[in-house]
Amino acid sequence: MTTSFDTLGLSAELRRAITEAGYTQPTPIQAKAIPVVLAGRDVLAAAQTGTGKTAGFTLPLLQRLMASAAPEGARRPVRALVLTPTRELAAQVGENVATYGRHLPLRSAVIFGGVKINPQIERLRAGVDVLVATPGRLLDHLSQRSVDLSQLQILVLDEADRMLDMGFIHDIRKVLARLPAQRQNLLFSATFSEEIRRLATGLLHEPEMIEVAPRNTTAERVAQVVHPVDRERKRELLSQLIAQGDWRQVLVFTRTKHGANRLAQQLEKDGLSAAAIHGNKSQNARTQALAGFKDGRVRVLVATDIAARGLDIDQLPHVVNYELPNVPEDYVHRIGRTGRAGSEGEALSLVCVDEHKLLRDIERLLRREVPKVVVPGFEPDPNARPEPIQQGRGGRGDSRGRRGGARSGGGRAREGGANAGGQRRRPPRQA
């Protein structure tokens, strides 16, 4: 059952842009979302990056704007707004809008913080049909009255879960308060935590629920391997792998903040430049660690699941699960950091006897086994007895003193990405 772009109801101009982009067939999310958005319905979509979701909302959005084009010559008010968590995503969505809208007389702009506001003001003043923005900078513009959202017809919240993870809920609510009540709302999120559900309930009007399978190609594209190893020897093995492989940029996941700190310190002692990033660190410390990681000063970044969610890093050559996540979906999120956009990626997991059940759950989700490779010299003790993994327990070689990370995942413990991931498959169905 293949769908063609020709049957989705898109205009000739959009189809031409699609052909020029080299797409021959809509992705599942596009096949599902495009007709629904064209029909003017609200949408609640469970879709991760890589599924083609951006075109899934951008194409029909552009078409709807064309159907009610702003009068020529009039100062153009913003009619479609896409909110994104990060600048990078805003820029990416902006590029998509430009690409798909290239044969349409619509104007778009991208605004985000950290850059001068004046050029943005000028751009907005010249008239913009589609605005892509991060919440904070949009609020700046609203308070300066440099943007007019009173004529808004379509609102898109892209990667809504990430926006909430990054603490944007109040900003989002402030923006919502400035929008006309009559509008079409599209909410895209990879996961469905309680907070997302609450947001969706207040925002969406009889939404169409759209779900697509997570990009299974992530798991297929990334070379995955499990190194069975004793709990107490994980750090030693990790240091050896990094040094012998001469890895320059490694993202390492731990289950807890405490575990992340501890591991970063131990790696430093092994002579590897490392930094930990998690919810207890100040924004400044996180920014610095990330900048160091991006420019090569920090070789190993140790992160908890939640902290990693807010980071704009992907296409990494190496991702290491120092400890397996409690929730299998988090494994897919983690390894999705590597091997993107066709680049080679490697995800390896150091798995001790405590984690065998977690590994089985992950393999069940992936619907395949991950190859196990014992590193010579690190053969696990066949008589090792599993210890229970408690919430927030650090796992690896520090069975002492781990009161620190009593909640799974570190970062924003209130929602635990774990739960969010676990519930992704069952967003609330509406009539």
Total chain residues near ligand AMP (CB under 6 A): 12
52 contacts ligand AMP (rule: CB under 6 A): yes
Of the candidates 335, 348, 58, the one whose C-alpha atom is nearest the C-alpha of residue 216 is 335
* Residue 270 contacts residue 300 (beta carbons within 8 Å): no
**Residue in this structure with the two tokens 């991006």, named with its chain if needed:** 294
CB of 53 to ligand AMP, least distance (A): 5
SS3 302: strand
> Which residue lies nearer to ligand AMP by CB, 8 or 301?
8
CB of 337 to ligand AMP, least distance (A): 14
User: In whole angstroms, how far apart are CA 18 and each of 102, 206, 264, 352?
Assistant: 10, 30, 46, 48
Q: Which of 10, 32, 53, 90 is the binder for ligand AMP (CB under 6 A)?
A: 53
Binder among 49, 189, 239, 321 for ligand AMP (CB under 6 A): 49
Q: Binding to ligand AMP by residue 26, rule CB under 6 A?
A: yes
Q: Does the protein bind ligand AMP through residue 254 (CB under 6 A)?
A: no
- Residue 60 touching ligand AMP (CB under 6 A): no
218 near ligand AMP, rule: CB under 6 A:
no
For ligand AMP, which residue has the nearest CB? 54
Work out how close the CB of 40 gets to ligand AMP at its nearest, in angstroms, rounded to a whole number.
Answer: 22
**What is the b/e burial string over 78-101, where b = at least 16 CB atoms within 10 angstroms of the residue's CB?**
bbbbbbbbbbebbebbbebbbebb
Which of 10, 38, 55, 250 binds ligand AMP (CB under 6 A)? It is 55
Q: Is 339 in the site for ligand AMP (CB under 6 A)?
A: no
Q: Binding to ligand AMP by residue 54, rule CB under 6 A?
A: yes
Q: What is the dihedral of CA 238, 244, 250, 256, to 10 degrees?
A: 10
Of 4 and 150, nearer to ligand AMP (C-beta) is 4
Q: Is 27 in the site for ligand AMP (CB under 6 A)?
A: yes
Rounded to an integer, what distance in angstroms lies between the CA atom of residue 424 and that of residue 420? 6
Q: Which of 3, 11, 13, 23 binds ligand AMP (CB under 6 A)?
A: 23
* Percentage helix, strand, coil for the chain under 3-state DSSP, each rounded to 5: 40, 15, 45
Taking the complex as a whole, the smallest distance from the CB of residue 27 to ligand AMP amounts, in Å, to 5
- The span from the CA of 99 to the CA of 380, in Å, is 53
Q: Which is nearer to ligand AMP, 52 or 422 (CB)?
A: 52
Show the tokens assigned to 213.
């399978």
Of the candidate spans 21-29, 110-118, 349-357, 391-399, the one that interacts with ligand AMP by CB under 6 A turns out to be 21-29
Spatial distance between the Cα atoms of 275 and 265, rounded to a whole number of angstroms: 8
- Nearest partner of 301 among 351, 358, 263, 354, judged by Cα: 263
Smallest distance, Å, CB 23 to ligand AMP?
4
Of 93 and 327, CB closest to ligand AMP: 93
Contact 182, 16 (CB under 8 A): no
247 binds ligand AMP (CB under 6 A): no
Question: Which residues contact ligand AMP by CB under 6 A?
Answer: 23, 25-27, 30, 49-55
